[in-house]
Structure 1
């Protein structure tokens, strides 16, 4: 056993010496214009770009409605972050899985900094040249998270980028970073699903934000390009992926600016978005939020958004606004809108909900059991609404038929 242990030790020592010499040689010999060393087999570069048009000096309060992560961050007691506290983050990896075998080889960070009285977008990138340099690469990347006031902004980063980074840190026995995190994927879907052809970041950038990504290398090719670089040392396409990574950060910053514009001026913005989905989400936010002076202003905007969506014929917004009118005591307008929904070419479940509300109002407020029964019977005729509504109207009709004073 002693001979075996000695032999294994000699092999391991030889491998360490060879590996160290090989890594040092590669670090010394390999150069990329514009990139500087930040560790063995790890490179870094910085760029300073113009900030996106429309960047506000402070995030508007309604950004908490548009992107719920900002609301949750504000409720921790720190309030909404300043633009300079935002850290845009994106990774390129060797695969689309978050499993332990997937390695991140390129990381980009963007941060707004003040220059000459205005804001610029500083982009910092880190590039891994080969697997043995991963620990140095990770430690360089983790240095970007050292500011405790930073709010990290990603696109699907909660499910992917942050998971990959944490997984690789665990693999290398490094403590993963902790930070506030705002993911823009879900608010983007809320605003632009059905308007853009899909909700990938590049599609949102080109179809909604009007950004030009002509000649951009698709991110899906990143694994193949990096592995080709490891085999051949060819850097042209690798630098193309680095430029793609940089464009993703610029796009994230532009997307956040679009969110801010929609939040601050939802009626004047030139961005196309789903008015109905935003109005309904704004309504839900206002109903569950803690009352305050700021909330009163947000509620006023939300009511106007819902009214505009309802008057535009949006089905769900029409029902929500009609029910809100009934609750607020505007019974005449509410009933008129509910009757319109019951007669319109709207989805069956919405028509059933309108008829149920009319039946309840007729019975309880107007004390008209005959009218209430009539609405229940109409609802029974909408069989495509489903079993839930059929059972509801059946029970309602049976109970109303037993009411004293009902005309037979």
Structure 2
């Protein structure tokens, strides 16, 4: 993008002829200025020009025809095709030009593919079950590849690496906001795509982000400071794993904050708006040991939980420790039934608290009915319990006058 702006301002220096250096290092085309810690535009970049160079390439056709052509390394593949048509009477319609197994895109230059003097290009018919894939960063096409639908997304990324110098682990390919998985094939995503049809994929370049992590291990103003480097596509959970490897604090005990805002473990660094040089503070959540009374025939157990654990997560701990399934089970604390979606903090459960495991009370149905006297009454019962249903019917009849027949019809509504 920067090279294109220079070209637009100057008009004479093609992007392929530009070499831009920042702090002594040449910037790759796909690299972002944020990687140089550029803030408020205060960064001096050096621009060098590549000299134009004429090279000779050999184009071999399907039937062994050979065409030797002299071209400039900054001329495009489209210009070569025009030259072959007008000067050599060699039409490439319905064919593709290949170099080292890579399909050459019309808009790209020879320098884009590192095509040098005496290179050999092949003009081939579009084979069956192959796709022409353009790779785009933002609104700019950066390369084009031609490969079989049986190839994996990982192999596609390796081909992109050859032309863009973007490491495979920093690439994220998307189509209509769907992220393509490395181990899947192109056929799994594009089985309905016609052979040779051009498909454009978006490439997100996740550059490395260097962070300073300050861990409050001693509940004071003294912090353990660590430097961490991760990709923008990595999750906060991965950051907690690194902290665990270095200072042995369990990931679930770590509460990470940036500018006072808690970072969600499931989000990526990019979606958490983390950038180079950010400072992350890590607070350590205390583990609480609580006793669970499992009921008659079972010994009490002790589990370790966090204040922000949900009651559902506490029940998972209990099931893991005791082997008792939590279906239709509930936890009681100080006489109150604990709701699964609420947290330990919501019920003021602290270190040393005792919880009781019990059968979950049945869900009752309210029955509204009108007696023969005109009086409206309500009764609650468990519809899954035959005894409860029979008892409800008997209570209805018992309330009637002695002269009331059991054959009377009652108007009932169930809610």
- If the length of structure 2 is used for normalisation, what is the TM-score? 0.24
Higher strand share: 2
Q: Highest CA radius of gyration, 1 or 2?
A: 2
- If the length of structure 1 is used for normalisation, what is the TM-score? 0.24
